[in-house]
Amino acid sequence: MWSSAPSPFRALLEHSGHDRTSVRRLVSDRGLESILEQLRDQGVYVSYEEYLGKVPLRRGRLELHLDPTSFHNRTVMADYLGSTGGTRSGGTPVAMSFEEKRSAAPRTHLRDAAYGQHPDQPVAVWFPCLPSAAGLGAILSGVTAGRPPERWFSQIPTTMEGIPASKRITNTMAPAFGRLSGMPLPAPSTPRAPIRRQCWTGASTPSPAWVWRVSRPTPARRCGSPGSPRPRAHRLTTSS
């Protein structure tokens, strides 16, 4: 933040009379939670509408016209761009880097250990493909942690209408690029059963995600629904 002059947070802090030294001193003397509350009361915050650029950010004489890209870390080059799910908008751009995935690998191992996952346990991902960053991000997290997923189940088709052409191409070509780089990346596939019934499906034909989950040979944690038998299954990284 301090090394990036266009940072909105730097502009807000400087407008409220703070610099790197004063912020460090306040955190040391009063603790993080206390100083965050103080900074909020001094106007060092960004509302949802300001973040999206629907309204200008105004604090006294300070006025900034922002959009989501204003908050990208300009000291780190983005390796790829995704977007949020777009529940309340058309999707917000998200800058992602491979270095962030590499640095997160130890946390992935800790999470798996906390849930009792076996290092050799098969893994699948159940997140949407691009333009959402969730699916590709989960795939890369598994690869950098040494546990590349076997399958990628996406809630949306790779060529769905409205997806930019560049992201359609990435969805289709990512596995080939992975092989060329020595990283096994599964191709995203779209189960035909309704999303809400993917884990325990009442349909006569089980969804591909469910078939994969119960067909793998290594036992793992269980997944079920009230009143259903609870077969041993495999880790399926899913959206909630």
Asked if 127 and 141 touch (Cβ cutoff 8 Å), the reply is no
Judged by average pLDDT, the poorest of 104-113, 153-162, 193-202 is 193-202
Extract the tokens encoding 212: 């994969």
Task: Report if residue 229 sits inside a domain.
Answer: yes
Q: Say if 1 falls within a structural domain.
A: no
Q: Does residue 3 lie in a domain region?
A: no
- Say yes or no: 152 and 232 in one domain: yes
- Tell me the pTM: 0.59
Tokens at 132, concatenated: 């959402």
pLDDT at res. 172: 85
pLDDT for res 148? 87
Domain span at residue 50 reads 8-71
**At residue 111, what are phi and psi to the nearest 5 degrees?**
-60, -45
Rounded Cα gap, residues 218 and 56, in angstroms: 54
Residue 166 is predicted with a pLDDT of 83
Mean pLDDT for all residues in the chain:
78
Same domain, 27 and 110: no
For the chain, the domain total comes to 2
- 2 is a domain residue: no
First to last CA, the chain: 32
223 plus 122 within the same structural domain: yes
Residues 31 and 92 in one domain: no
Look at residue 91 and tell me if it is in a domain: yes
Of 192, 90, 185, 99, nearest to 131 (Cα)? 90
Q: What is the pLDDT of residues 190-199, one digit of tens each?
A: 876 444 444 4
Shared domain check, 116 and 93: yes
Picking from 50, 71, 92, the residue at the C-terminal end of a domain is 71
For 8-22, 23-37, 140-154, which range has the lowest pLDDT when averaged over its residues?
140-154
Looking at the structure, tell me whether residues 211 and 130 fall in a common domain.
yes
Residues 126 and 232 in one domain: yes
Q: What's the pLDDT tens digit per position in 204-220?
A: 444 777 777 777 765 44
pLDDT at position 73 is 76
Mean pLDDT of 60-80: 84
- Are both 203 and 119 inside the same structural domain? yes
Point out the domain boundary residue: 71, 92, 111. 71
